[in-house]
């Protein structure tokens, strides 16, 4: 049954595991970057590790806002979480070296997996780094994660989660950016984003030529008054 109302509110620490499960189900091994960045996210051990990383991120970054989309009914149904988003206000460029932010040996114990993710990350952060550099010190709002439970998609949760960040960006008069998947492109375009890079480039070397590469679009939204 479709919810009568979807609200966006702050996510608590205790709700991180539930939201990570939603993230895993939302992408369902259909997004190479998520599969690589959150190894084995569809397994109990992978979900435990992913939840731990999200919680550490939430506690360590005062510039990141963790949100949940909550479905509410008008007939006594219990409210439940159907989506999540993480928006970060970035005034400084992200680290190009993954090991400055992650325990890479723990997360990617296989040396080849670790090296592959490290190379992907160096290219992944280039567009947002350039956007920050071009902001004249104002910074940008970055939509770092967006996921909606497959059973509750197309009900407005994704739009509401995106709107939270675009509203915050408008209030400060700065751009919002996202590295989006082709599946989510229409949602972002309806929210005012346009594609600045139609297909992000990942140059990981010949030794990784056989591996799946992310298919991502770098999208930008200008501030609206």
Mean pLDDT of the chain, nearest integer: 95
Each residue of 58-93: pLDDT tens digit? 999 999 999 999 998 766 567 899 999 999 999 999
Write down the H helix ranges in the chain.
Answer: 16-27, 32-37, 44-60, 104-107, 111-124, 126-133, 157-172, 185-190
pTM value is 0.95
- Radius of gyration of the chain, Cα coordinates, nearest whole angstrom: 17
CATH topology for 5-221?
A: Aminopeptidase (3.40.630)
Instruction: Give pLDDT, residue 30.
Output: 80
pLDDT at 191 over 70: yes
Q: Which residues contact 43 (CB under 8 A, 6 or more apart)?
A: none
pLDDT at 125 over 90: yes
Q: How far is CA 181 from CA 4, 126, 154, 156, 211, in A?
A: 28, 17, 16, 18, 18
Which tokens in the block code for residue 62? 């005062």
In the chain, the percentage of residues whose pLDDT exceeds 90 is: 91
Instruction: Give pLDDT, residue 76.
Output: 52
């Amino acid at each position: 049954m479709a919810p009568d109302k979807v609200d966006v509110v702050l996510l608590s620490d205790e709700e991180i595991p539930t939201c990570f499960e939603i993230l895993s189900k939302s992408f369902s091994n259909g997004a190479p970057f998520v599969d690589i960045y959150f190894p084995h996210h569809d397994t109990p051990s992978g979900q435990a590790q992913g939840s731990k990383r999200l919680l550490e991120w939430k506690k360590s970054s005062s510039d990141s806002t963790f949100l949940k989309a909550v479905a509410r009914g008008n007939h006594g149904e219990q409210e439940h979480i159907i989506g999540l988003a993480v928006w970060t206000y970035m005034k400084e460029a992200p680290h190009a070296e993954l090991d400055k932010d992650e325990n890479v040996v723990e997360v990617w114990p296989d040396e080849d997996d670790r090296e592959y993710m490290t190379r992907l990350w160096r290219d992944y952060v280039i567009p947002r780094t350039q956007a920050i550099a071009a902001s004249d010190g104002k910074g940008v709002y970055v939509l770092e994660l967006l996921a909606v439970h497959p059973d509750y998609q197309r009900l407005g949760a994704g739009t509401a989660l995106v709107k939270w960040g675009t509203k915050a960006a408008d209030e400060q008069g700065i751009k919002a950016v996202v590295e989006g998947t082709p599946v989510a492109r229409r949602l972002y375009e309806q929210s005012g984003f346009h594609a600045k890079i139609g297909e992000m480039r990942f140059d990981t070397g010949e030794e990784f030529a056989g591996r799946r590469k992310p298919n991502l679009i770098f999208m930008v939204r200008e501030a609206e008054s």
